[in-house]
Amino acid sequence: MSSEAAPRFDPTNPHLRFLEEVSAATAGVSRLEMCIQCGTCGGSCPSAVEMDHTPRMLFAMVRAGMRDEALRSNTPWICVSCYHCVVRCPQDVHIADVMYTLKSMAIRAKLYRESTAPDFSRTFVGMVETYGRSYEFGLATRHYLRHFPLRLPALVPTGYQMIAHGRMATRPRKIKNLKQLKSILARAKELEAMP
């Protein structure tokens, strides 16, 4: 957590409308502006102990226009999408989806901290875009070869067990109409890039 003093209200802060930006980029109606800072989310979170900021604190930062600090927080990357907070939130904020939004914004702004999480997501997405199906063996080997070649041996027994039990294919499966999927995703990326 930052040791700097809390920023005073600054009407020239270019990120005053950050809350609106996050809300607009979230699937569904995020209801993030309805947050009453009750803290039920953090109190319900099984991984809060690992987080830089509890969800409540993170949402306060978003509201305060602390764009860079919010996008550097590890909180969205530690969220396990268990939806405990979502069903307990008295304001029905789509908390898990806001976390996804903050992740994608952090990737785009290249603001996430040194972490394997963003790259795991992107490697997964790369596999899906290439084959149309997920591909665990490729995902695991590529992820580890690229980032932690030294940790790969520790993973081998588990991977070997999965292969031995006929639960992990060493070659990917592909969908038939990969061309169609690729056209759809290419168009979706253009749409995403539009303001």
Partner 1 sequence: MSSTYLYYPGCSMEATAVAYQVSLMEVCRTLELDLQEIDDWNCCGATEYVGVSLTPAYALIGRNLALAAKQANGTKTVVAPCSACYLNLAKADYYMRERPVLGVKVNAALAAGDLHYDPGSLTIRHLLDVIVNDVGLDRVKSKVVRPLKGLRVAPYLGCMVPRPDYERRWSDHERPDELDRLLHALGAEVIEFPLKTHCCGGHMTQIGPETAYEFIRRLLMSADHHNADVMATLCPMCQMNLDAYQGETNRHFGTSYRLPILFFTQLMGVAFGIDAKKLGFGREIVSAQEAMGRIGVETPPPETPERRTPPSKDKSLPMPRMAGDEEEVA
Residues 37-66 that bind partner 1 (CB under 8 A): 46-47, 50
Task: Give the containing element (helix H, strand E) for 96.
Answer: helix 95-108
90 binds partner 1 (CB under 8 A): no
Nearest distance, CB of residue 44 and partner 1, angstroms: 10
User: What's at 94, amino acid-wise?
Assistant: H
Q: Which two tokens stand for residue 73?
A: 């927080």
Using CB under 8 A as the binding rule, whether residue 123 contacts partner 1 is answered as yes
Q: Contacts with partner 1 in 155-174 (CB under 8 A)?
A: 157-158, 160-162, 164-173
Q: Per-residue string for binding with partner 1, 2-31, x by CB under 8 A?
A: -----------------------xxxxx--
For residue 62, the minimal CB distance to partner 1 (Å) is: 16
Tokens of 90: 């008295």
Q: Does 33 bind partner 1 (CB under 8 A)?
A: no
Q: Is residue 152 part of the contact set for partner 1 (CB under 8 A)?
A: no
CB 107 within 8 Å of CB 122 = yes
Between 73 and 101, whose beta carbon lies closer to partner 1?
101
Buried/exposed code over 77-109 (b: 16+ C-beta within 10 A; e: otherwise): bbbeeeebbbeebeeebbbbbbbbbbbebbeee
Phi and psi based region of residue 48 (left: phi greater than 0; alpha: psi -120 to 50; beta: remaining): alpha
* Coil vs helix vs strand at 183: helix
Whole-number minimum distance, CB 52 to partner 1, in Å? 14
Instruction: Work out how close the CB of 56 gets to partner 1 at its nearest, in angstroms, rounded to a whole number.
Output: 18
Q: Which stretch binds partner 1 (CB under 8 A): 6-14, 33-41, 60-68, 110-118?
A: 110-118
Which two tokens mark 14? 């270019």
